[in-house]
Amino acid sequence: MRDRDTPPPAPGFWTLAGAEAWERFAIQGAKSLLTLFLLTDLLRPSGPPVLGLAGLRAAIEGMTGTRGDIAFASQLYGLYGALTYLILPLGGWLADRSGRRRVAMFVGAELMAAGLVALTGRPLALVGLGLLIGGIGLLKGNLAAEVGALRGSAGGERLFAAYLAFLNGGALLGPLLCGWLAERYGFGTAFAAMAASIAVAVLLLRAAPRVTVAAAARDEGAAVAWRQVVPAIVAVTLCFCAYEQLTNIVLVWAEARVALSVGGFAVPPGWLAAADGLFTIALALGAYRLWPWLARRRCEPAAGIKLALGGVAIALGYGLIALLSMRVGAVGLTGPLAAILLLGIGVVLSWPSALAIVTAAAPPGRRGMMTGLFYLHGFVAHLVVGQLGTLYPVMSAPRFWMIHVALALAGAVVALAIPRGQATTTSTAESASA
């Protein structure tokens, strides 16, 4: 039920939010399957050769050393994830400077669809990943910016909370459905379903009204409060250097150590990533109610405190996985799900808080660029996650997970150094562009 003092969403919001859900279905579906796809299909000697794979592996292992298939799969996962973030500022900059954001979004969707189709077969799988990266760069950030332009007087905080629910709905269904399709019918069928989801997103984009985009910023020379921006980005980067392992080695660990069955039904490892999406939706809606309630009572935590608490929650999640790894034999599902819940709490606290700090510290005409800089935390985190994954086969599991505990706690410490004074209304809604 909508509050009486909250205006209805602007025209076009629901179609754009729906497009985001289907886009995120494809992005998270592909991400949740990539490491397992490499280990069980692409890196096996049987079948037609994968164009460029041998050369890429030689180049990566020439720099890092030969450590086996799990290490290489983790490195490639990290490289792919890092590039999908690194390209986002470029995609946003191109759309902002040209004033043709809608065109950029359609081109991005077409590249994503082409990449997913290429991933349905072995020979062009690496080409498909390249196309997918380019498409994400043009679509993901610009779609969030298009929704941002609709905020106006429509209650921005609640508008973006609804958008976040759509986003995480796609993030939930992608790993859930695609994981099941890969398990039952093979990876090719799963990637074909992702391509179909992009087609649905395109139809929704065509139905949405156009939003005018200024071709250039009006206050490029305005000052940025770097004392808030730098520690916020450093803190969220450290937190996500731990969190992003969830869709990489956590799934490999779960496949080997967790009893993935419920009542005789085999649970695909990718469904653990889907559980993270489900928890995030519920937690986001809870925070959406909690922060205004605390604000009315003048006890809402500052943004930096929320960010620090997020780091602590992520550390607790990986600490629990470390404890579970000490057990002998298979681990039940309850413990891993509790750890994933803690990781979800950490994300709901840390990501929106850091983004709100960054945007509040930037003048309006430079928020696109600053948001692009914020996105680089994902680039760094994926590179670190990929490299950390190479340690998993050569050290004890508890020690491996304690590295992630240390990273998240370091992020919490940095967050506490953020100067007070910036806006503290950091509702979960602001993470919609994540």
DSSP assignment of 321-357 equals: HHHHHTSSSPBPSHHHHHHHHHHHHHHHHHHHHHHHH
pLDDT score recorded for residue 364: 53
What CA–CA distance (Å, rounded) separates 18 from 155?
Answer: 19
What CA–CA distance (Å, rounded) separates 189 from 117?
Answer: 10
Q: Which residues make Cβ contacts (< 8 Å) with residue 94, sequence separation at least 6?
A: 104, 138
- pLDDT (tens digit per residue) in 78-114: 889 888 988 888 887 788 777 788 888 999 999 999 9
Nearest to 347 by CA among 374, 375, 316, 313: 313
Look at residue 356 and tell me whether its pLDDT is greater than 50.
yes
How many other β-carbons are positioned within 10 Å of the β-carbon of residue 211?
16
pLDDT score recorded for residue 217: 43
Look at residue 401 and tell me whether its pLDDT is greater than 70.
yes
For residues 408-412, give the mean pLDDT.
98
Percent of the chain whose pLDDT exceeds 90: 40
Q: Which residue would you say has higher pLDDT here, 149 or 285?
A: 285
Q: Which residue would you say has higher pLDDT here, 381 or 160?
A: 381
What CA–CA distance (Å, rounded) separates 272 from 274?
Answer: 5
Look at residue 276 and tell me whether its pLDDT is greater than 50.
yes
For residues 243-266, give the mean pLDDT.
88
What are the Cα distances from residue 280, in Å, to 91, 130, 254, 276, 298? Answer: 27, 29, 20, 6, 26
Look at residue 211 and tell me whether its pLDDT is greater than 90.
no
For residues 49-58, give the mean pLDDT.
92
Look at residue 434 and tell me whether its pLDDT is greater than 50.
no
Which of 83-97, 121-135, 250-264 is predicted least confidently? 83-97
Rg of the chain over Cα atoms, rounded to whole angstroms, equals 21
For residues 224-251, give the mean pLDDT.
90
Look at residue 322 and tell me whether its pLDDT is greater than 70.
yes
Q: How far apart are the first and last CA of the chain?
A: 26
Nearest to 127 by CA among 28, 42, 32, 33: 42
Element (DSSP H or E) covering residue 262: strand 261-262
Look at residue 422 and tell me whether its pLDDT is greater than 50.
no
What CA–CA distance (Å, rounded) separates 426 from 304?
Answer: 10
Cβ(354)–Cβ(232) under 8 Å? yes
For residues 166-188, give the mean pLDDT.
89
pLDDT score recorded for residue 4: 45
Q: Which residue would you say has higher pLDDT here, 390 or 428?
A: 390
Look at residue 342 and tell me whether its pLDDT is greater than 80.
yes
Which of 89-98, 254-263, 311-320 is predicted least confidently? 89-98
Look at residue 428 and tell me whether its pLDDT is greater than 60.
no
For residues 373-395, give the mean pLDDT.
88
For residues 242-258, give the mean pLDDT.
90
Which pair of structure tokens corresponds to residue 416?
């506490």
pLDDT score recorded for residue 288: 72
Confidence category of residue 144, pLDDT binned at 50, 70, 90: confident
Residue 11 identity (one-letter amino acid):
P
What CA–CA distance (Å, rounded) separates 298 from 288?
Answer: 16
Where is mean pLDDT largest: 138-147, 215-224, 334-343, 377-386?
A: 334-343
For residues 118-125, give the mean pLDDT.
93
